[in-house]
Amino acid sequence: MRPTEQLKAEHEGVKLMLKVLGKVCVKPEEINQEHFAKILEFLKVFVDKCHHGKEEDLLLPAMIEAGVPKEKGAIKLTLLEHVEGRGYVKGMSEAFDKLKNGDRQASTKIVENGKKYIELLIKHIDKENTILFPLANKVLSQAKQAELEEEFEKLEVERIGVGKHEEFHGLLHQLEEIYLG
């Protein structure tokens, strides 16, 4: 699969998890801590470490090398939005720690950050699918794309470990059945 197709496929997984998160945010007083811990792990590891890692450390540098400016436009925006998203995940994570320690009010913070994260990521994914990726496909040679494909695989093994990607998909479908079924 060409690199941008792989990232697009991952976006579908991310969007599914955003739907699950959306459901959690509707009834924060009933938050299932075991599920929420897994949702956070998915957002931190699958979305940020793995997916954003492929974009930030491999795809974008290749695009910059191919002449796309890095200080403005699609690349700059992508990076800024990743930073913004990390802030919301951190917000949810800190609030969740408080909740686990018995602070019931903390669920409000989870919802606040959760809603902002969902709103940001939906737009972010849409922009990547429609602007960033077509641009990447245009400027990157077939050889470079083949190289990226291999590097994506390596990054996945190095950062999240063998089999973890499949494990996350299993989690995703488990939560999908519970929250969206």
Q: Which residues bind Fe ion (CB under 5 A)?
A: 55, 128
CB of 8 to Fe ion, least distance (A): 8
The rounded distance, in Å, linking the Cα atoms of 23 and 179 is 7
Task: Indicate the helix (H) or strand (E) that contains 117.
Answer: helix 106-127
CB of 117 to Fe ion, least distance (A): 13
Region at 91 (left for phi over 0; alpha for psi -120 to 50; beta for the rest)? alpha
Half-sphere exposure in the Cβ direction for 68 (13 Å, CA) = 22
CB of 33 to Fe ion, least distance (A): 28
Nearer to Fe ion, 27 or 138 (CB): 138
Nearer to Fe ion, 71 or 177 (CB): 71
Closest by CA to 47, choosing from 152, 165, 128, 161, is 165
The rounded distance, in Å, linking the Cα atoms of 3 and 16 is 21
CB of 160 to Fe ion, least distance (A): 16
CB of 111 to Fe ion, least distance (A): 23
Nearer to Fe ion, 31 or 121 (CB): 121
Nearer to Fe ion, 83 or 143 (CB): 83
Helix/strand/coil percent split, the chain, to 5? 85, 0, 15
